[in-house]
Structure 1
Amino acid sequence: MTKFTKIEVSSRAKAGKGAARATRRAGLVPGVIYGAGQEPVLIALDPRIVYRELHKSGWRSRIYDISVEKGASVHALLREVQLHPVSDAPIHVDYQRLAAGHKVHVEVEIRFEGEEVSPGVKRGGVMNIVRHTVDVVVDPANIPEFFTADLSKLDFHDNVRWEDLKGTENVTPVQHDNNFVIANVAPPSIDEDAEAAEAEATTEG
């Protein structure tokens, strides 16, 4: 079942820089909901909502159930957050309205498990995380919250690839190579000078 994060926003009557500044002076963040062949809706929301969502992992694929005052709720993705260059305070947010049957590009987070029991890591290898997210095309009804990568069986030179991820049903990766690497284990590096010195010392002994 698709999970929704419910948020409440208010509507804005006017567009433009002056209206946006007025919204910020009132302590709110101006924003817009666009897409799905409908007219954009100008909104304003509490900056604490924006901060809260940005500090959660996987916000780029989270579906929001946005209640605009007394109107019908809208399902949307948080597409862009503009931040103040000095204070990092949110100054504008863009939400993309979703419509069933209209596929969207989504960046989905990968969650990793089992690294602590990986045979390669236990033997001193280094776990290389190649990708933390994957861009996919998916129907809004099937947007995954995250993918899961199991690292528990990786030894030296082993990989986790796209086909190994859990939760990829009903999605198509944007990358043309459909079985790209997500993570791998590299053997421990050898200090050749130290190894030669040790061999020489052993020979002399």
Structure 2
Amino acid sequence: MKKNSQTKTLLEAQKRTVTGKKVKQLRKTGVIPANVFGPAFNSLSISVNHKDFLSAYKVAHETGIVYINVDKESIPTLIKGVQRHPVNHDILHVDFRKIDLKQKIETTVPIEIIGESIAVNQLGGVLLKQHDHLIVEALPQDIPQHIAVDISQIKEIGQEIKVADLVKSAQYTIKEEPEAVIVSVIAHKEESVTPETATVAPEVIGEAEKAEEGTAEGEEAPAPASAKAPASKEEKKE
């Protein structure tokens, strides 16, 4: 990943012909398979250096422009999706969305909570976040890295911040319902304590399995159901 004098985020790439299961070998060499797609654009299969991509992603995230340099062409893109391994979280594949710098686009922008709420810190309320991202419309170069939501204006339990309460911007438009709630503060619900007289012993799941395992290891097996045992007062007599 390189940055030029105008702080553009550049990412070198190569056209990729390897597909399917064979891309696993690419990853072993420190290369990530990726695709570039977009309206009126033929999808392009590429590969990028793993370290270079991480450097670009650290700067651009999902909202900054990344210029893909491939075959002497510089393609402006946004990082649209990063697919990771479910266990070790290694990057498996990346999708880049080709953009037109002169056309407004809609994309999602993460929310950043700032400030402190009296309702939370002093009144013991619980902050409930109902949105992590908001859809915005803007020219690619005007897309904000995040949208700040200042919770210091929430001073009482029950108050909330809606889309309509956010500071307006001349560079982008939030394409969400104005009445959509972003965050709110609700009362803390204390867990009810069950009186000791009403305490019921918890059911132990897997007790039968444990008994079987114990028997297999040489422990004495419990008496069979047909064996005579002292009658219980609660046992029904046939």
Same fold (TM over 0.5): yes
* TM-superposition CA deviations, 1:125-169 (whole Å, max 9, x none): 222112121123333243111111111121221111112224654
Q: Give the aligned CA root-mean-square deviation in angstroms.
A: 3.1
Of structures 1 and 2, the one with the larger relative CO (CA 8 A, separation 6+) is 1
Identify the range of structure 1 (13-22 vs 127-136) with the bigger mean alpha-carbon deviation.
Answer: 13-22
> 1:158 maps to what in 2?
159
* TM-superposition CA deviations, 1:42-98 (whole Å, max 9, x none): 3211223444566x59823232233336x2322211112222344332222110011
> 2:180 maps to what in 1?
180
TM-score by length of 1: 0.74
* Structure having the higher Rg: 2
- Alignment gaps of 5+ in structure 2: 1-5, 195-238
TM-aligned CA distance change 1:21 to 1:105, over 3 Å:
same
Shift of 1:112: 1.1
TM-aligned CA distance change 1:66 to 1:188, over 3 Å:
same
> 2:112 maps to what in 1?
111
> 1:40 maps to what in 2?
43
Query: Equivalents in 2 of 1:146, 1:47: separation in Å?
Result: 25
Query: Equivalents in 1 of 2:51, 2:143: separation in Å?
Result: 25
Query: Equivalents in 2 of 1:42, 1:191: separation in Å?
Result: 54
Q: 2:32 aligns with which of 29, 34, 39?
A: 29
Q: Any residues of structure 2 matched to 1:1-205 within 5 Å, and which?
A: 6-14=9-17, 16-17=19-20, 20-51=23-54, 59-68=61-70, 71-115=72-116, 118-121=117-120, 122-154=122-154, 155-166=156-167, 168-169=169-170, 170-173=172-175, 175=176, 177-189=177-189
Query: Equivalents in 2 of 1:143, 1:25: separation in Å?
Result: 35
> 2:216 maps to what in 1?
none
> 1:203 maps to what in 2?
none
- Alignment gaps of 5+ in structure 1: 195-205
